[in-house]
Homo-oligomer: A and B are copies of this chain.
Amino acid sequence: MPVGLLLQGRTDERSPETNGDALRHLDALFHPRSIAVVGASDDPNRIGGVPLSLMIERGYSGRLIPVNPKYERVQGLPAFPSLAAAGGPIDIAIVAVPAAALAATLEDAIAAGVKALVVFSSGFAEVDAAGRDMQQQVTRRAREAGIRLLGPNCLGMMSFRHNVFATFSPAPRAGANKVGNIAIVSQSGAFGAFAFSLARSRDLGMSYWMTTGNESDVEFADCVQWLAADRDTQVILGYMEGCRDGDKLKRALEAARAAGKRVVITKVGRTELGSAAAASHTAALTGEDAVYDALFRQYGVWRANTVEELFTVGYAASVCPLPASSRTGVLTVSGGVGVLMADEASTAGLDLAEMPLAAQAALLREIPFAGPRNPVDITGQTVTVPGLLERTLASMLGHGDEQAGYDMVVFFPAAALLGASVAQRIVDDLIAAHTRHPDKPLVVTGLMQPAYREVFRKAGVAVIDDPSAAMRALGALAFFADAAKRPPPLGATAVVPSAISLAGKSYTEHEALQQLAAAGVPVVQSRLAATAAEAAQAAQRIGFPVVVKLCSPDITHKSEVGGVRLNLQDAGAVEAAFNDILTKARQAAPHARIDGVLVAPMVKGGVECILGVHTDPVFGPVVMFGLGGILVEAMRDVTFRLAPIDAAEARSMIDSIRARRVLDGMRGAPPSDVDALAESIARLSHFAASNKAGLQSVDINPFLVLPYGQGAIALDAVLVTEPAHTPSTSTPRGTP
């Protein structure tokens, strides 16, 4: 029984790059009109018996073709000795034979014109090098023949609307699930089976379920890309352990975003401890976790850190419309729980704008001890004052002078929906309100009789048990709405590569600053001086005071060899500094190439920041921003985005650091020129994106942000390139 539960073998060669090829035959794979099972078994509990028995039982309407040379009939259906012998078109062949037999099955499939294989078999790259070789050979042959391959070592896929059960998981047998708009895509079979069972136990309606196993051909990203175009799917719940092809994943996520799908992904390996466990358990190619955070943020994916969050957000996204804004009304019968929800709203970034004063006054006339602002606390009078709930919902959802016009409303009725007498009236009022405002998410949280859940769901009202979880789900809906309105991330469209590669060259600080200046990043105007006299002359042109710094491509950390002198006031001081710096440098590094010194103006004031780029092996160049200084380093208060980005996205980076207030001007300091800072980050990101082939990293430290209107300026830069003739992103981290 194959149970390589983690993707221990997702190490195959890259799939074809173009979209057309990547999607080839995925329609046949995920929406098959005829399904063969190679290794078909009469026993409904065996790996070759489960899919047949499930599809017969649930009424799959296409042709089912058992293949097994030993039998004439399997599970009551006529069986064939081979795929070729079955005749007629075969969309997919499920392969439930030992690994060693896969190659022969593939030849049979080619002969029979099969479009895609779903390979349950294990014993490939997840086991050892021989298995990896075998997997690579089969995959190559399948590609040549134009056959797609899901797996190997996967649990298969299910399509609930069409009763396709191309899986050997026993989970579906435990009971039928609801058909709906949620697709589940999992790189792990075990997680996939768990997720399926959990979705069923929560009564979520599902469209597709896909597990990708070793991903020798069809990857997680392919599944997302295909689901992006699927009309029956509104929500994609993903479980990821790693990614091999960052560009493909970006394309898929952008396709989903552009199509209005809501994508929620749990990506494991969040903390350092978690990453250690991942590295020991899997050869999946995990990028840095912060890079995934950036990717998901930019591509409109909600990252769920727990299974609970994955399903709660997925449920809300499946039931609710997307709100016009994050303006949220909280309606409660308990002031205390209202406060609890307000607490969470703040964390979730929701805007709890106050009710209009007239509406507050009107409510207080009815209920003197109500809380009229927002949260709106209508107290236990909810049900005793006729029409109170209806009127309050109207003034929260309606648009008028005395109405709040919230774009989302959440209602906490405590335990009132348990009581038989009053519950139905509350339910009716809520559904009526939602019918009048069908474009606004309405969520009920708290306890209720189970029957009401279904009533609410049918009416498009979401039910989320925990009040805090309900607020987080609304935060996710606001995030999706915001993402849907944004233009595509710049990285999703093609970036024009620079004509000249940086690879194989080494850059002094002076040269690095020149490169950045050419890319539009403001840099300090420094002059290179080869002699003491040249240095003094340069200083005179620049104007005192000046800074003098060693210039050598071989000495990166110049301050450690005494190579930096600040605040020099006259020509004599500059000449002395030149001589001293060169003496010390020659002592410290006798064989280093020394070009002389850089003379630069002494720039004072402003806020020290750090800008950087590092090239992720999977996702390419990533731009970084943080404030400078030791404390920020200690607190890791930095933020990342995949390059390139525009100034608006750079602005969101600036706004996301914890020490943001420093740029507003603290303790009497003037506000900083964040416009110039954002523009510089954006330009650096474009430089990185267009030079990604040759670039390893850039550090601009310090990058000085001056008071508003005065701009910003790079004072120092280190540019590290790839060795010559090595493609930059071809060696994914973690490859054995």
Contacts and interface: CB of A to CB of B under 8 A. Distances in A.
Nearest to A169: B415
A659 B630 CA distance: 9
A170 B305 contact: no
Interface string A1-34: 1011110100000000000000000000000000
B337 A174 contact: no
A498 interface: no
Contacts of A307: 337, 340, 466-468
A502 interface: no
Nearest to A174: B418
A3 B381 contact: yes
Contact of A343 (B270, B281, B466): B270
A130 interface: no
Most chain B beta-carbon neighbours within 10 Å: one of A174, A381, A660: A174
A340 B266 contact: yes
A377 B5 contact: yes
Interface string A160-180: 000000000011001000000
A417 to B, nearest CB: 10
Contacts of A377: 5-6, 281
Contacts of A305: 343, 468
Contacts of A447: 194, 197-198, 201
Interface residues of A, number: 94
B334 A666 contact: no
A55 interface: no
A193 interface: yes
Given A307-B466, A369-B126, A268 B340 contact: yes
Interface in A441-492: 446-447, 465-469
A62 interface: no
A201 to B, nearest CB: 6
A171 B415 contact: yes
B630 A194 contact: no
Nearest to A277: B342
A305 B126 CA distance: 42
A380 B3 contact: yes
B194 A415 contact: yes
A667 B632 CA distance: 13
A11 to B, nearest CB: 15
A546 interface: no
A646 to B, nearest CB: 27
A337 B191 contact: yes
Given A1-B384, A369-B8, A384-B1, A415 B662 contact: no
A342 B274 contact: yes
Contacts of A467: 306-307
A325 to B, nearest CB: 17
Interface string A340-365: 10111111000010000000000000
Contacts of A196: 415
Interface stretch (A87-95, A212-220, A633-641, A722-730): A633-641
Interface string A394-437: 00000000000000000000110011000000000000000000
A190 B281 contact: no
Most chain B beta-carbon neighbours within 10 Å: one of A1, A127, A466, A627: A466
Given A198-B447, A369-B127, A414 B339 contact: no
B634 A335 contact: no
A346 B273 contact: yes
B339 A666 contact: no
A627 B373 CA distance: 39
A306 to B, nearest CB: 4
Nearest to A659: B634
Given A268-B336, A627-B631, A190 B5 contact: no
A85 B504 CA distance: 103
Contacts of A662: 630-631, 634
Contacts of A380: 1, 3, 5, 190
Contact of A188 (B336, B373, B632, B658): B336
Contacts of A308: 465-466, 468-469
Nearest to A415: B197
Nearest to A414: B194
Contacts of A634: 658-662, 666
Interface in A309-350: 333-340, 342-347
Contacts of A5: 333-336, 377, 379-380
A339 B187 CA distance: 14
A588 to B, nearest CB: 16
Given A190-B336, A201-B447, A375 B277 contact: yes
A241 interface: yes
Contacts of A414: 190-191, 193-194, 197
Contact of A631 (B368, B419, B446, B659): B659
Interface string A633-655: 11101000000000000000000
Nearest to A446: B194
B633 A666 contact: yes
A278 interface: yes
Nearest to A2: B380
A629 interface: yes
Contacts of A1: 380, 384
A191 B415 contact: no
A190 B631 contact: no
A371 interface: yes
A272 interface: yes
B194 A334 contact: yes
Contacts of A468: 305-308
A197 B194 CA distance: 29
Contacts of A346: 271-274
22 contacts: A3-B369, A6-B335, A127-B369, A170-B419, A190-B335, A190-B380, A193-B414, A194-B334, A197-B418, A198-B447, A241-B336, A266-B340, A269-B343, A271-B343, A273-B342, A277-B352, A278-B339, A305-B468, A306-B340, A630-B666, A634-B658, A634-B660
